[in-house]
Amino acid sequence: MTGSQAEVGGSGAQRIGASGEWLSVLRRYLAVIAVGNLAWEFAQLPLYTIWHGGTPREIAFAALHCTGGDVLIAGAALLGALLVAGTGEWPHDRFATVAVLAMLGGLGYTVFSEWLNTEIRASWAYTETMPRLPLIGTGLAPLAQWIVVPLVAFWWARRRVARGG
């Protein structure tokens, strides 16, 4: 058996290893992350004060800037999850574990970033209509974003991966 082949279930059957598919999965994941977060950023803008006080140019820049950050966060969270829980057979092996860890990383960073930027730096602010978590005050829209968008992205990224060869 070569380094690019793996035995499946001890049956003697062989398939091409995941090494060729991880890049395709990664590309599909990041594409959906980019498009999904861009749409989400524009959709949630009315929950931030910039929507009411910013110029159209400032609003567009904020959404595009935040989307770029979202892509970087998602990529770093996925990389971290792969380093912690991935195997050479990913995405065939431990896909769900890596996805959950990546989502938890994105959620954790979001809670920290929203707190830092709304409470400490005052880089942005929520309107009164933003639903918030009790105690820490993090907006529910950005938290939902880091659940929904990665779930859709992981689903889309994995849906074409051949199962079992």
Angle 140-58-142 from CA coordinates, rounded to 5°: 10
Contacts of 64 by beta carbon, 8 Å cutoff, 6+ apart: 38
User: In the chain, where do the E strands start and end?
Assistant: 5-7, 14-16
Which pLDDT band holds residue 143 (cuts at 50, 70, 90)? very high
Residue 37 DSSP SS3: helix
As a whole number of angstroms, the distance between CA 161 and CA 165 comes to: 9
> pLDDT at position 20, please?
75
Count CB atoms within 10 A of the CB of residue 90: 20
pLDDT at 134 over 70: yes
Reported as a single tens digit per residue, the pLDDT across 83-93 is: 999 999 999 99
Reported as a single tens digit per residue, the pLDDT across 51-73 is: 999 999 999 999 999 999 999 99
pLDDT at 74 over 80: yes
> pLDDT at position 160, please?
72
pLDDT at 17 over 90: no
Residue 72 DSSP SS3: helix
**Phi/psi at 126 (nearest 5 deg)?**
-85, 155
* Average pLDDT taken over every residue of the chain: 89
> pLDDT at position 2, please?
45
Domain ranges of the chain: 17-158
